[in-house]
Amino acid sequence: MNAVAPALEAVTARPRLPVHVPWPALLGSLSSDDAQALDALAATRSVAEGQTIATRGTAARQLIALLDGQAVCGWAQPDRGLSAERVVHGPQWLVLSAPLGEGRHHSDVVAQSRVLLAELPVDPLRALAARRPMLSLRFMDTLAREVGRLDTRLHELMHKDAGARLAAWLCAQLQGSSQVVLRLAERKRDIASQLGMTPETLSRMMRSLSERGLIAVSGYTVRVLDPDALHGLAGT
Amino acid sequence: MNAVAPALEAVTARPRLPVHVPWPALLGSLSSDDAQALDALAATRSVAEGQTIATRGTAARQLIALLDGQAVCGWAQPDRGLSAERVVHGPQWLVLSAPLGEGRHHSDVVAQSRVLLAELPVDPLRALAARRPMLSLRFMDTLAREVGRLDTRLHELMHKDAGARLAAWLCAQLQGSSQVVLRLAERKRDIASQLGMTPETLSRMMRSLSERGLIAVSGYTVRVLDPDALHGLAGT
DNA sequence: CGCGGCCTTGAGTTTACTCAAGGGAGGTGG
DNA sequence: CCACCTCCCTTGAGTAAACTCAAGGCCGCG
């Protein structure tokens, strides 16, 4: 078991930590029966900062949920580091579709802090899902939402310029916290990378927005001064 | 029923045409029981060229499969027409994740030829899937593959330049037909749009590739002369 | 205090876009 | 049968957006 990342075994050892997995946060509301069945299948493990969790193109045999910590999915290039396509904060799925689909990881995944993972081997999970219809439905819904998010990002990348993408991203962040003050939880270079621009361009766009009075930036704190104008700039 | 597009009813009338729906092409291998259950749920209808099939942001209550013809998903802008994000040839899913996820259409969808659709209302489908585990699994797999495709496109759009994207697209087309001669099935402007570039840029890239001897272009026919070099240009 | 990341800023360059004009294929009507 | 129209693709010239490269400043840490 855990054949995916044998090299990590030595480093991170300790399988099946006695940890509570917050399935509702990952899959939506679940019967306690279903949750227990998942618990029985899941193995948790901890991974140190900087360690590789998955490698693009290698076999993906387990679904992986990030329970705690921060990890980044993206593209590792020799001596350019890893450019972030998605930054994940627990609890959230880290690897959901690859084992269910083509069976190969789409991205390189690296821990950005010490993280706690829960892993579900896909074959037993399939067998379980075949017996528990509501569980399959929850996975269907979760996957469908993921498609929606990707569609949106693809759309923005194709049709919006850097300023609009940043504005849209800020608006999206705003929804979550329902406040006007944002604390950026990621390095700016990772934000830039997710938005498909360079750190330099992000920096200039931030400055442009603050010069126009839409936001006020101070380090990793962003205060949104004019949410409506920001929404307008984002192009709905 | 068919409340999604009441305006079309008058035009396209005839619900439940007696048509065979090729479920295996849409969902993978299926028991005949499952296929029959889906048949019982599905309604087919025909839509004329140029008609709107779905509108971004409106309620999505049915899964829609394109059985025959060609349709385009994208973004309709007033007097810029519709810019293609995805061109679909039957048989293939046209609207799969939106009803299962947020319940709103992600894109505008327009028929590019006379098309034949099969529609599955999502609520009865959910009920059916709850009773038929293998069916849910097929939907899970189909959605997971869709996520994989979107991930790939997102990755290419973020990290590859126009030339590499075109090369990658040509390589992908090549897999399907396993030949060296491609017949483009879509307008070049739609290909360009899907690749996130303008028609002018696509034209120049095509010329650049043929000047370098990688392909030979004649109208809508492309002969691939150097598949390896093309693969290299595509960046794996 | 010095060091290493990270962000910022500026200058110069590249890529891809916009705008405008021209040519080919297909369809329609005289 | 030809003239004409329309739609689409192509090509060129100029422009604008974003990237690269290089330098400088800030912050936290040893």
pLDDT at A17: 56
Is the pLDDT assigned to residue B56 strictly greater than 50?
Answer: yes
What pLDDT is stored for residue A2 in this prediction? 37
d(CA A92, CA B230): 38
> What part of B 13-72 touches A (C-beta under 8 Å)?
none
Predicted confidence at residue A94, as pLDDT, reads 98
Say if residue B63's pLDDT is above 50: yes
Three-class DSSP category at B108: strand
Interchain proximity B151–A75, CB inside 8 Å: no
What's residue B18's pLDDT?
A: 63
* Chains A–B, number of C-beta pairs less than 8 Å apart: 130
Can you give the pTM of this predicted structure? 0.92
**Predicted local confidence at residue A18, as pLDDT:** 63
Q: Is the dihedral of CA A167, A173, A178, A180 positive or negative?
A: negative
The reply to whether A196 Cβ lies less than 7 angstroms from strand D is yes
Residues 6+ apart with CB under 8 A from A220: A183, A184, A188
B158 contact A CB<8A: yes
* pLDDT number for residue A5: 38
Judged by CB atoms closer than 8 Å, whether chains meet at A129 and B133 is answered as: yes
CA of B197 to C1' of D23 (A): 34
Give the Cα separation of A119 and A125 in Å (integer): 11
β-strand partners of B72: B87, B110
Interchain pair A143, B145: CB under 8 A: no
Sign of CA dihedral B132, B136, B59, B95: negative
Residue B164 pLDDT exceeds 70: yes
Q: What is the pLDDT of residue A4?
A: 36
Give the lowest-confidence range in A63-77, B14-28, B34-48, B115-129: B14-28
Q: Are strands A52-54 and A108-111 parallel, antiparallel or unpaired?
A: antiparallel
* Interface check B133 vs A, CB under 8 A: yes
Residues in chain B with CB shorter than 8 Å from the CB of A105 are none
State the pLDDT at residue B17.
56
Continuous segment of H or E residues that includes residue B153: helix B133-159
Whether B177 has its CB under 8 Å from any CB of chain A: the answer is: no
Q: How far is the CA of B52 from the C1' of C30 (A)?
A: 36
Task: Report how far residue B143's alpha carbon sits from residue A100's, in angstroms, rounded to the nearest whole number.
Answer: 9
pLDDT at position A235: 87
Give B158 CA → C13 C1' in Å: 20
pLDDT tens for chain A, 236 residues: list them. 333 334 433 444 444 556 789 999 999 999 999 999 999 999 999 999 999 999 999 999 999 999 999 999 999 987 788 999 999 998 999 999 999 999 999 999 999 999 999 999 999 999 999 999 999 999 999 999 999 999 999 999 999 999 999 999 999 999 877 689 999 999 999 999 999 999 999 999 999 999 999 999 999 999 999 999 999 999 87
pLDDT digits (tens, 9 = 90+) for B111-162: 999 999 999 999 999 999 999 999 999 999 999 999 999 999 999 999 999 9
pLDDT digits (tens, 9 = 90+) for B174-200: 987 768 999 999 999 999 999 999 999
* Mean pLDDT on B52-71: 97
**pLDDT of the residue at A13:** 45
Chain C bases near protein Cβ (<7 Å): 6-11, 15-20, 25
B161 touches strand D (CB under 7 A): no
Task: Estimate in Å the CA B85 to C1' C15 gap, whole number.
Answer: 22
**Who among residues 173-232 of B has its Cβ near strand C, under 7 Å?**
196-198, 200-201, 219
Average pLDDT value for residue range B75-99? 93
- H/E stretch holding A231: helix A227-234
Say whether pLDDT at B12 is over 50.
no
pLDDT score of A195: 98
Average pLDDT score over chain B: 91
SS3 B76: strand
